[in-house]
Amino acid sequence: MPVLFFDRYLPDEFRDLVEGRALVVGPDDDDLAQADAVVAGMRIWDAAAIAKGRRLRVISRTGVGYDTVDVEAATAAGITVCYAPQAPTVSTAEHTIALLMAVTKGLGAARARAQQGLPGGPATALELDGRVLGLLGFGRIARRVAGVGASFGMTIIAHDPLLPASAGSPEPATMVPFDELWTKSDVISLHAPATPATRHVVNERTLAMMQRGTYLVNCARGALVDQNALLNALDSGHLAGAGLDVTEPEPLPAGHPLLEHPRALVTPHIASSTAAGRRRLYEHAIHHALATLAGTPTSVVPEQC
């Protein structure tokens, strides 16, 4: 029976996913030597960590992102890296919409006024009908967000350099050039992976391109945003609000300016953490690990395809 190393404790309610199929070890590093595969959470799997697993054949991520895995080092060691791009789609899209609604409607400030016994303040909430929702990246999660945005009466535009030109503009979005995404949107939601090319794609230049009063939502990766530039834009009022489920680092230290900023709402990387979504993350990651060990690799990261 294959041995699966979990780098965080496998919750009891998910034990049925491996019963009779694999032996479970971890998260103590001493267990790595006997593992055939790793089911990886957010731990960093660099060359040094990978080298501790002398029998490792697979690293299977419980999520769509795999920037925590050194794919080059894994490939050199003969290890297949898998990921679970479909598992967090529903939950992450719903959390994106929740943050979008919370920041555009000023719910944080409204709650603070209510707690202080104050009446409603100025009418600053953004009415979404007729506004433009810009999506950086147009994969599964972004397309679900686009559908909800369109139901609000928003115009949807998107930029995705990985989408072939022959694909045209998939409904309900109109594909636009990179610069146009920033200049035309009233709300921008990030749905891109963390790569050297996308690191700090939200920066002084792109923030300056936005219309004054634009909102930003990020449920993708913290590395996409230059947080110093973001804070400056929030302080000046150029950016009306930001909803962030991911930051750099994670978690932010207590007292960080973003945690206390009146125009920001930060959640601790919980977008995929519905009960159903969390189970799917483990279910898909375990399936990909066992299938690959059995000689039928599935959901292998693009770099190894």
CATH number at residue 293: 3.40.50.720
Can you tell me whether residue 6 is helix, strand or coil?
Answer: strand
The confidence band for 168, taking pLDDT boundaries of 50, 70 and 90, is confident
What is the C-alpha separation between 186 and 175, in angstroms, rounded?
16
Number of domains in the chain: 2
Residue 290 has pLDDT above 90, yes or no: yes
Q: Whole domain around residue 49: which residue ranges? A: 3-87+274-304
What's residue 122's pLDDT? 81
Same domain as 260, residue 132: yes
Do 287 and 39 meet the contact criterion of CB atoms below 8 Å apart? no
- The tokens of 42 are what? 């957010």
Mean pLDDT across the chain: 95
> What would the mean pLDDT of 60-65 be, rounded to a whole number?
94
Same domain as 176, residue 111: yes
Same domain as 179, residue 98: yes
Q: What is the pLDDT of residues 182-228, one digit of tens each?
A: 999 999 999 999 999 999 999 999 999 999 999 999 999 999 999 99
- The tokens of 95 are what? 């959390």
- The tokens of 201 are what? 């794609």
Same domain as 283, residue 243: no
> What would the mean pLDDT of 222-249 be, rounded to a whole number?
98
Same domain as 208, residue 71: no
Do 227 and 247 meet the contact criterion of CB atoms below 8 Å apart? yes
Q: What are the respective helix, strand and coil percentages of the chain, to the nearest 5? A: 40, 20, 45
Same domain as 135, residue 167: yes
Same domain as 197, residue 70: no
Same domain as 107, residue 77: no
What's residue 305's pLDDT? 86
Same domain as 245, residue 106: yes
* Sign (positive or negative) of CA dihedral 44, 75, 246, 40: negative
Same domain as 167, residue 66: no
Residues 6+ apart with CB under 8 A from 284: 62, 84, 86, 87, 299
Same domain as 170, residue 231: yes
Same domain as 252, residue 125: yes
Residues acting as catalytic residues: 221, 250, 269
Residue 244 has pLDDT above 80, yes or no: yes
Strand-pairing partners, residue 3, are 23
